[in-house]
Amino acid sequence: MSANIGAPAPEFSLKDQDQKEVKLSDFRGKKRVVLVFYPLDWSPTCTKEHACMVNDKKQFDQLDAQVLGISVDSVWSHKAYAEKMGIHYPLLADFHPRGAVAAKYGVYLEDKGITGRAIFIIDRDGKLAWHKNYDIPVVPDIGEVSKALAAVK
């Protein structure tokens, strides 16, 4: 399945790096959500991507959006990675069943056992407003994401 613009975003409930359960519905009616699907903690491209997100987090805060990182890594990997990288937004463990949430969004790469690189913006009503898939070795243009986010009501 792949997610379509204007359709309700597939619901999920995953644990973050602090073992806290995070549901997409927690943000409905409150904030826009930027879902950052990425292959693996600790990989060079993902590390650059998260460094950009950390550096631009204030911009996302000003646009009243919650950033959520999602990969197939475990809660424990996320915890160590978040501490090392200074990440203060939730990193969600799509660990078991492996890639189940990424599959709902059409970005799980089953042959590789990892999440593809993609960003989805979900509006306050819980509908998909924007998304873009990226090649694994490409760091997403955070400015492009911010611009798309600013256009979402």
- Which active-site residues does the annotation give? 46
Question: For residues 129 and 36, what is the distance between their CA atoms, to the nearest angstrom?
Answer: 14
DSSP-derived 3-state class of residue 52 = helix
Question: For residues 69 and 90, what is the distance between their CA atoms, to the nearest angstrom?
Answer: 6
Per DSSP, helices labelled H in the chain are: 44-55, 57-62, 75-85, 100-104, 142-150
Provide the 8-state DSSP code for 25.
G
Neighbour-count burial of 97, counting CB atoms closer than 10 A to its CB (0-12 exposed, 13-18 middle, 19+ buried): exposed
- Whether 64 contacts 42, CB under 8 Å: no
How would you classify the pairing of strands 114-115 and 117-122?
A: unpaired
